[in-house]
Structure 1
Amino acid sequence: MAKTAKKKAARIAFTPIEDRVLIAPAAGEEVTASGIVLPDSAQEKPNRGTVVAAGPGRLGQDGKRLEMPVAPGDEVIFGKYAGNKVEIDGTEYKVLRAEEILARIED
């Protein structure tokens, strides 16, 4: 069964389909090491984030669902240009295919 993103007082329920994953990107650096404040346009976009929701997985050639490699709460690294930006209740997220995730970060 699909894992769904749930937020307090959220107006939109977002459930990814197939092998897609909803990721909340980590915050970018707002201040340099020397103390210079960077505007949004100059901040490097993060390629790291937290899985908020994951689809049920794609169908294999035998017709059975393949298990998703990540679950909500996992910290992941993804390609710089991977996925699509979406805005849900004023918050920006990325939607990626599971294959676009490069690694899962474990503590």
Structure 2
Amino acid sequence: MRHELRPLFDRVVIKELDPDRVRRSGLLVPPGNDEPPPQHGIVLAVGPGLDWWDHVGVKMPVSRGDHVVFPASAGAWVEVDEERLLVCRVGELLGVLAELPDALV
């Protein structure tokens, strides 16, 4: 039987992507010495937000399928059906990665 982790309140469930340390040029970028680099992941599930958010017009800023960046210290790691997932508050996310059209680059 498969399970689904449904986040509560302002939490999101993220599947971490393997860090890509090789640039297009072939240069291998080592991790920083002092602090782990930010992690990347795909949002699998999003909680409903906090109950007071509706009164002030705040909505969850991420949705399922978004590619997000988060610090290595974010949230808590859990294992569901042998899959390692991160559960964190939406406020811990650093941002959403979006592809830009070539004309804007």
TM norm structure 1: 0.69
1:95 is aligned, of 59, 79, 87, to 87
Q: Distance in 1 between matches of 2:53 and 2:66?
A: 27
Number of residue pairs the alignment of both structures matches: 89
1:52-71 superposed Cα distances (whole Å, 9 cap, x missing partner): 00001112277577311000
Structure 2 gaps, min length 5: 29-35, 100-105
- The root-mean-square deviation of aligned C-alpha atoms, in Å, is 2.9
How many percent identity over aligned positions?
35
Q: Indicate yes or no: 2:11 matched with 1:20.
A: yes
Asked whether the equivalents of residues 57 and 65 of structure 1 are also in contact (C-alpha less than 8 Å), the reply is no
Q: Distance in 2 between matches of 1:91 and 1:77?
A: 19
Q: Distance in 1 between matches of 2:97 and 2:8?
A: 23
